[in-house]
Amino acid sequence: NAGVMQNPRHLVRRRGQEARLRCSPMKGHSHVYWYRQLPEEGLKFMVYLQKENIIDESGMPKERFSAEFPKEGPSILRIQQVVRGDSAAYFCASSPRRLQQERYGNTIYFGEGSWLTVV
């Protein structure tokens, strides 16, 4: 998990507020992925981004959720008007550009997660 930095580690929001989760990928990585893990459930893919581009958002809820990965700065997962069902662990992961693949592939490394609690 070394290198992928997520903050905040823990976030408490009241219903209706906004939550912003930040992710800095490992050095040299330009692909970012977001996953969500609801309590006692498995890891679910949300979105896959490259710098300034969303590649795959097939797992993103249609409303209230958005993600970006600007040219400069961290990737942001934004949840508007949070509800209690958004309480979960959100994990960010990163991988290298395809032209910088490691010997056998494009390994994805995860951060330690951001735990969102909606009260």
Partner 1 sequence: DAKTTQPPSMDCAEGRAANLPCNHSTISGNEYVYWYRQIHSQGPQYIIHGLKNNETNEMASLIITEDRKSSTLILPHATLRDTAVYYCIVRLMIKAAGNKLTFGGGTRVLVKP
How many angstroms separate the most distant Cα atoms in the chain? 46
Question: Dihedral (C-alpha) 100, 97, 72, 7: value to the nearest 10 degrees?
Answer: -100
Burial class (CB in 10 A: 0-12, 13-18, 19+), 112: middle
The residue range among 10-18, 22-30, 62-70, 111-119 that interacts with partner 1, by the rule CB under 8 A, is 111-119
Q: What are phi and psi of 78, to 5 degrees?
A: -115, 130
Q: How far apart are CA 63 and CA 117, in angstroms?
A: 19
Q: Does residue 108 interact with partner 1 by CB under 8 A?
A: yes
- Contact pick of 7, 74, 76, 110 for partner 1 (by CB under 8 A): 110
Identified binder of partner 1 from the candidate list 24, 79, 111, 118, rule CB under 8 A = 111
CB 17 → partner 1: shortest distance, Å? Answer: 24
The nearer residue to partner 1, 72 or 102, going by C-beta atoms, is 102
- d(C-alpha 59, C-alpha 119), whole Å: 24
Q: Is 69 in the site for partner 1 (CB under 8 A)?
A: no
Q: Is 44 in the site for partner 1 (CB under 8 A)?
A: yes
Q: Which residues bind partner 1 (CB under 8 A)?
A: 1, 4, 31, 33, 35, 42-45, 48, 50, 55-56, 91, 93, 95, 98, 104-113
